[in-house]
Amino acid sequence: MAHTSSVISVRTAALVAGGSLAIGLLTACAPGGTSASPSTRVSHLSPTPSSAATSPSPSTASPTSPSPTSASPTSASPTDTTGANDPALPSPSDTSATTSTDGLIPVLHRIDTTDPVVFITIDDGYDKDPRVVALLKSRQVPVTPFLTVDAIKDKPSFFVQIQDATGQSVQDHTLTHPKLSTLGYDAQVREICDAATTLQGYFGQKPWLFRPPYGDYDRTTRRAAASCGMKALVLWDVSLPHAVLRYASGNVLRRGDIILIHWRPNLYRDLPVALDAAAAQGLRVAALQDYVPAS
């Protein structure tokens, strides 16, 4: 896909020979609930856009304009250096793995749909703020948690509440949050498969979506994830570090964008930034699992 780059977007992804995608460092956070079923589900293998779209295209919508006193900006200043140690946005020009071939699961940066929707995904699980549970319930927005076992094993019950509040099953983000491209096949299988088994024990359903830590993966990762029953490797094209939306392309949300946030101390503050930006652009937050189903 080709898009005009914004001067305020941050992109540090590169496709390396052999199929690996090395991605630098950025972050963020978001709310949940339940949403209406999409008019058309989009397959993780061959997305089929829905025929109905009643909201204006994000390309014509105005970006959110925060008040000068707002603590929640929606775009980054060129001088902003916050989030320097957080996962960076993948390149919007990366088309290395959009389909499943040779036993390798597809890699998704966004969902190809004409539905006026975006998707919020929240990674890791280190912070467990009860206010976030209340926020997700009150705003009734579905979010997809990609959880690291080491981050949640002290209190998995918190994410049972999140799952109950959002109606979304938790998904796989490895056991220990390693940089997977530095590991061999067996070690990658252990990180992905053992995490999936542990998460199933905690939450009652085995994950079928996988997000590699730091957005770092190679062909071995795709093969290992497939062997663990994963249906897609899910990246992102928008991130929300420190209450600032950062875009891989442009400076507004688009239909099908996948937003990356993290379970960090400021999640309660940051979540409304993504929600309000989506609403301002005529978009709603939809359940990623409706568009990339388990079967």
- pLDDT on residue 102: 72
Q: Model confidence at 16, in pLDDT bands (50, 70, 90)?
A: very low
Whole-structure pTM value? 0.71
Residues 99, 112: Cα–Cα separation, whole Å: 13
Residues 231, 239: Cα–Cα separation, whole Å: 23
Which amino acid belongs to residue 179?
K
Output 251 or 72, whichever has higher pLDDT.
Answer: 251
Do strands 117-124 and 258-262 pair parallel, antiparallel, or not at all (unpaired)? parallel
Q: Stretch 83-101: mean pLDDT, rounded?
A: 54
- Reference 284, options 112, 116, 100, 38; nearest CA is 116
Output 258 or 53, whichever has higher pLDDT.
Answer: 258
Output 98 or 72, whichever has higher pLDDT.
Answer: 98
Write out pLDDT tens, residues 132-158: 999 999 999 999 999 999 999 999 999
Is pLDDT of 206 > 50? Answer: yes
- pLDDT on residue 201: 97
Q: At what angle do helices 195-203 and 156-166 cross, to 10 degrees?
A: 70
- pLDDT on residue 129: 96
Residues 83, 179: Cα–Cα separation, whole Å: 18
Is pLDDT of 79 > 80? Answer: no
- Give percent above pLDDT 70 in the chain: 66
DSSP element (H, E) containing 107:
strand 107-108
- Structure token digits, residue 260: 């990356």
Residues 69, 237: Cα–Cα separation, whole Å: 28
